[in-house]
Amino acid sequence: MDRSVLWKIKLAPYITIGLLIVNVVIFLLMEITGSVDSDYHIFRWGAMLTSAVSEDGEYWRLFTSMFLHFSFEHLAGNMLVLFALGTVLEKGIGHLRLALIYFIAGLGANVLSQIWSVRADEEILSAGASGAIFGLMGALVFAGLFAREWMGALSPGRIALMLLLSLYHGVNEGIDNVAHIGGLILGFLLAIILLKIFPGRYLYERRGW
């Protein structure tokens, strides 16, 4: 196979695309088997409920809730930002680093949200990929400001545009600000670890893109 074709395959954002497909397929399955408008239905599929996690020990909901959405608008908004951020980040920092940031930040954001709800004595039903997506945003902020060597020829203007899109989405979604902020901070910290402390090697050839 031609080397250029192999290189294009290597740079393809298949983690981001895979996450998009999984989220969409799960949403469609939920609609086929019931309705995402039903709190009980989305709870059965694995949404986070404060008491279910803290009292019943259903900690797996901290993970499964990352793939569930309350409406088509909720799903579409999250997937749009995931695509915008994920494709750029994955091309720059690599598939494994993007996956680690996405899942660790998303899980950590849900843990912080759960702790906040317990301390506030609130019973909250929550779901969505926003915490993980804000983790990618935090990583992009760090890479854009302090690790430009990872982002190739990506212009500061394009980075700023994606961040504005993400922030607009996050503010207007108005679902779980604790998860959003937590994901953002965790993504930033994870980027420090993965891009500066344990950088490994660059994914792309050092000629820009």
Catalytic positions: 130, 180
Residue 48 bridge partners (DSSP): 126
Dist CA 100 CA 133 (whole Å): 12
CB 122 within 8 Å of CB 71: no
- Element housing 32 (H / E): helix 14-33
Q: For residue 108, which phi and psi values (nearest 5 degrees)?
A: -60, -40
Dist CA 30 CA 173 (whole Å): 21
How many angstroms from the chain centroid is the CA of residue 11?
19
Dist CA 205 CA 209 (whole Å): 9
How many angstroms from the chain centroid is the CA of residue 102?
5
Q: Which residues contact 52 (CB under 8 A, 6 or more apart)?
A: 43, 58, 61
| 199 three-class SS | coil
